[in-house]
A and B are shown apart, each in its own frame.
Chain A
Amino acid sequence: EPEVTQTPSHQVTQMGQEVILRCVPISNHLYFYWYRQILGQKVEFLVSFYNNEISEKSEIFDDQFSVERPDGSNFTLKIRSTKLEDSAMYFCASKDRYTDTQYFGPGTRLTVL
């Protein structure tokens, strides 16, 4: 069964550094999402992406965040200058054009020191 994959599984970085989290959505999917989950808390919507542009973003998704689909398979989340409070699990999700079902990847645990 096709699945969403994410790399790396764990990223440790120093405060102020840039990080790029990578996702490979399911191949025929057209809608892409990033979510974040701070340890023990709920899943929070960050951004949705369709047709090579952002469809919607939350108030969390400020100027420090950006997303890109650099080629036909990858979908990336960049955090320009990480803060301690960016430490969280980051989940990528994708869906096709026919259903509402979003398929989540296993997540990247980001630790900012």
Chain B
Amino acid sequence: GENVEQHPSTLSVQEGDSAVIKCTYSDSASNYFPWYKQELGKGPQLIIDIRSNVGEKKDQRIAVTLNKTAKHFSLHITETQPEDSAVYFCAASGGFKTIFGAGTRLFVKA
């Protein structure tokens, strides 16, 4: 069945450093790849997304890259801040179904 692998499961960085989270998907029909941030006790909030016809997208300190051939996509956060600390989920969507990765718990140390 469809699967999304996400690494690392935990990531600890110093404030100001960059953080990179990587995902791999299995379903070739996936054409939309959102990234969500989830804070404790809240629902996932979209932070950035990318469609399969685009290789890279940037929004201020956040960027996402997609390699459709290799079925890899990555989230890059630059100049990390303590408020970036949360769980981040990648997801792959095709049609009416969205499959999430297992999540990465990001700690940004001040």
* Chain A residues in the interface with B (C-beta under 8 A): 4, 31, 33, 35, 41-45, 48, 50, 55-56, 58-59, 91, 100-107
Assuming the contacts A45-B97, A45-B100, A58-B97, asked whether A100 and B43 have C-beta atoms less than 8 A apart, the reply is: no
Q: With A45-B100, A48-B97 known to touch, is A102 a contact of B43 (CB < 8 Å)?
A: no
How many residues on chain B are close to A (CB under 8 Å)?
Answer: 23
Indicate whether B55 reaches chain A with its CB closer than 8 angstroms.
no
- B-side residues, CB < 8 A to A, are 1, 32, 34, 36, 42-46, 49, 51, 89, 91, 93, 95-103
CB-CB under 8 A for A42 and B100, given A56-B95, A100-B93: yes
Q: Which of B1, B95, B100 contacts A43 (CB 8 A)?
A: B100
Q: Could you list 16 examples of A-B contacts with CB < 8 Å?
A: A35-B100, A42-B89, A42-B100, A43-B36, A43-B100, A45-B97, A45-B99, A48-B96, A50-B96, A55-B96, A58-B97, A101-B46, A101-B49, A104-B43, A105-B43, A107-B42
